[in-house]
Amino acid sequence: MPDSIPPEIFDCRRCGDCCLGEGGIILDERDVARLAAHLNQAVADFLMRCTELCSGRTRVRTAPDGYCLFYDHAIHGCAVHPARPDICRAWPFFRGNLVDKYSWRLAQDACPGIVAAAGHAAFARAGREYLRRHNLVRRDDAAAPCALTSIDRDDAAE
């Protein structure tokens, strides 16, 4: 969930739904280094304790209750918030939601923080600006989470 987005575009309700479910939190090398340092663990220990490999990509493990390993029910939020993965910083401004208003509408079913009244164009404008400001655009399709790649190519095509 992003910081510093106007509440008329996005207003997180802290429902925790984006932290529930298996497999979506893909990490790149920068995420791994930041999380390991935050947890005061060696990178190898962090990878062994907190992650697993899936189709060649590193992802955060899921706890037995189905939530992300880092979800803290006591605070209704992320236990590693200052160091959270880039893909978590970027939600709900994933590429699909930026380029496709139908995906944006579907995302509203999963995330009550997305303000429908804002309209898709304003959401996409704010999202692109947010991703750039926070250095969340990725160009390495092989290593980066897919949801964060390619918006520059989309911009070039517009």
Residues that bind ligand SF4 (CB under 6 A): 1, 12-19, 25, 60, 68, 70-71, 78, 80, 84-85, 88, 91, 111-113
DSSP annotation of 114: B
Minimum distance, C-beta of residue 90 to ligand SF4, in the bound complex (Å): 10
DSSP H helix total and E strand total for the chain? 7, 5
**Closer to ligand SF4 at the Cβ: 53 or 156?**
53
**Closer to ligand SF4 at the Cβ: 3 or 158?**
3
**Closer to ligand SF4 at the Cβ: 135 or 152?**
135
Minimum distance, C-beta of residue 150 to ligand SF4, in the bound complex (Å): 21
Minimum distance, C-beta of residue 157 to ligand SF4, in the bound complex (Å): 28
Minimum distance, C-beta of residue 135 to ligand SF4, in the bound complex (Å): 17
**Closer to ligand SF4 at the Cβ: 83 or 99?**
83
